Structure 1
Amino acid sequence: MFGVSQRINLSFTRRIARNFPRLLSSGNDNEQPEFIPVPEYAERPGEELEVRKARLLYQSRKRGMLENGLLLSTFAAKYLKGMTEGQVEQYDKLINKPSNDWEIYYWATGNKPTPEEYQSEIMDLLKEHAKNKEKDCRITQPPLYG
């Protein structure tokens, strides 16, 4: 696959890279942190309800994992507009406080028990939505507008 000159070049590049100090490094590359803390969610006091709903719609769509992107975006498209301020607060807490998106997915699908602090009217609604009793096609996110 590689010619002789390409192999020599690659070998030379690796040797130089290994011995060349990292210019922007702040420490020893061999030290790996055991735990990188996830920043805690900062609540936004005084945020207007419509602004909060728009933010939650965006956050429901941009999860970083396909399963939650589909589950939460279809949930938000169906229920977010009609939520009261208290329900919006519950939903905000549900999708932003847990540090691991897989937790939300497992709670919604019933694979793990929901912790007491996240058990709410909105969590129950999300669990029902996850069951998809209507057999809706949820292979893509719903349109943002429309």
Structure 2
Amino acid sequence: MQFICRRSAAIVRQSLIGCHKSRLLSTKGNSSDDQNHDIYDPVSNEPEIPSSLRQRLESIDMKKKRLLYQSRKRGILENDLILGNFANKYLDQMSDKQLEMYDLIINMPSNDWELYYWSVGRKEVPKEMSNEVMDLLIEYTKNRDKEVRIRQPDV
């Protein structure tokens, strides 16, 4: 009896997943109704929050906190140090437009090494990433004042 229940549960689960996938595929092609449907990442089944919606839901203070956290917790230590110290120094002074630029800079590249190479000048910055905040980051990375930046700033 227990085997049948487990198998029944598995069949129900599979059919629900199949229904969910067909619903997902049928809603992706709709016109203006797309905004009203949940859109899921096909790999993780996690709901995706569109950046325009995130911008409306996120206060400036929360955005600064998120960007500071994301700057400190990167994939590689080099970026942790550069971006963590950069964010600690400049985030409070940035306008909303500059915060959006910084958000784009740290969250668009899929490879942290690309961001590192752009900031230290080993690779040319792509046009879509080239803006005043990237210029400020590149200048900050040159460390003309010879500041010691071997640890993360205090939280």
TM-score (norm 2): 0.65
Structure 1 residue 90 corresponds to structure 2 residue 115: no
How far does residue 42 in structure 1 lie from its aligned partner after superposition?
Answer: 5.0
Structure 1 residue 79 corresponds to structure 2 residue 76: no
How far does residue 54 in structure 1 lie from its aligned partner after superposition?
Answer: 0.3
**Kept after mapping to 2: 8 A contact 1:75/1:129:** yes
Code of the aligned partner of 2:74: R
Q: 1:99 matched to which residue of 2?
A: 110
Equivalent residues, number: 106
Provide the identity percentage.
54
More helix by share: 2
Q: Deviations over 1:38-90 (max 9, x none)?
A: xx995222111110000000000000210000000010011000100000000
Match of 1:45 among 47, 55, 59: 55
Q: Which runs of 5+ in 2 are unaligned?
A: 1-42
Code of the aligned partner of 2:59: E
Match of 1:108 among 119, 123, 126: 119
Code of the aligned partner of 2:140: H
Cα RMSD, aligned residues only: 1.6
Distance 1:48 1:101 in 2: 26
Task: Write out aligned runs for 1:58-77 (5 A).
Answer: 58-77=69-88
**Kept after mapping to 2: 8 A contact 1:41/1:97:** no
Distance 2:122 2:90 in 1: 23
Q: Rg bigger for which structure?
A: 1
Code of the aligned partner of 1:111: R
By relative contact order (CA 8 Å, sep 6+), the higher-ranking structure is 1
Q: Which runs of 5+ in 1 are unaligned?
A: 1-36
Q: Which stretches of structure 1, 4 residues or longer, exceed 3 Å deviation after superposition?
A: none
Distance 1:58 1:130 in 2: 19
Structure 1 residue 121 corresponds to structure 2 residue 128: no
Structure 1 residue 140 corresponds to structure 2 residue 132: no
Distance 2:144 2:87 in 1: 17
Distance 1:140 1:55 in 2: 20
TM-score (norm 1): 0.69
Code of the aligned partner of 1:87: Q
